[in-house]
Structure 1
Amino acid sequence: MSTSEAEWVLLKKVQQMDFVVVELTLYTDTHPNDEEARKQWRDAIKEAARVRRQYETIYGPLSLTSVPSKQAIEVGWQWNSPPWPWQR
């Protein structure tokens, strides 16, 4: 089974949003009085969570800490059973 282009696009969006959260976290750590950056940080966290939920709803969990998606619960997701996310 191969990974579709749509899955790659969405996975890239997850990675981009995670990057934004990390960068804004670092910035707000060194600039604690920058209210606009803190607002951007909060918004980025919400968007990252939304994109991750979207990916996991369609393609399955990305990590052990992910809340199981409806799909994962219905099929009895097992981490030791292929295909793993990078094998699709």
Structure 2
Amino acid sequence: MKENEKKYYELLHELQETDFIIVELNLYLNTHPNDQAAIAQYNEYVQKSMHLKNQFECLFGPLTSFGYSLSPTPFMWKDQPWPWQV
């Protein structure tokens, strides 16, 4: 596996893990909205996710379309593989 491909999968995997944690914390906070420690952890992981998404998109192009991600020129959304295809 090429180094660039390895970095692609490593970043994507870390992003998926981080976003999974966010979903779980969100579900917990739905029933425990005053848990300050959980809120702090949720915010920490949201910031981490934003950083990872930015890092991924700078290296490999947009993760999403329809106005959620900027695109360099030329428009890169058509480039394969898309994140959900790996």
- What TM-score, normalized to structure 2? 0.81
- In the alignment, residue 74 of structure 2 is paired with which amino acid? G
Residue of structure 1 in register with 2:69 after alignment: 67
Q: In structure 2, do the counterparts of structure 1 residues 60 and 45 end up closer, same or farther at CA, with 3 Å as the change threshold?
A: same
For residues 19-42 of structure 1, what are the alpha-carbon distances to aligned partners after superposition, in whole Å with 9 as ceiling and x for unaligned?
111111001111112110011011
Residue of structure 2 in register with 1:84 after alignment: 81
The alignment yields a C-alpha RMSD, in angstroms, of 2.2
What secondary structure sits across from 1:4 in the alignment?
helix
Residue of structure 1 in register with 2:26 after alignment: 25
Would you identify which runs of 4 or more consecutive aligned residues in structure 1 move more than 4 Å?
none
**Stretch of structure 1 that moved more, 2-11 or 23-32:** 2-11
What secondary structure sits across from 2:68 in the alignment?
coil
Structure 1 unaligned segments of length 5 or more: list them. none
Give the paired residue count: 82
Whether the 8 Å contact between 2:18 and 2:48 is mirrored in structure 1 is yes
- In the alignment, residue 50 of structure 1 is paired with which amino acid? H
Structure 2 unaligned segments of length 5 or more: list them. none
Higher relative contact order (CA 8 A, sep 6+): 1
> What is the CA-CA distance between 1:17 and the residue it aligns to?
0.9
Residue of structure 2 in register with 1:38 after alignment: 39
| In 2, Cα distance between equivalents of 1:33 and 1:17 | 22
- What TM-score, normalized to structure 1? 0.79
Whether the 8 Å contact between 2:29 and 2:35 is mirrored in structure 1 is yes
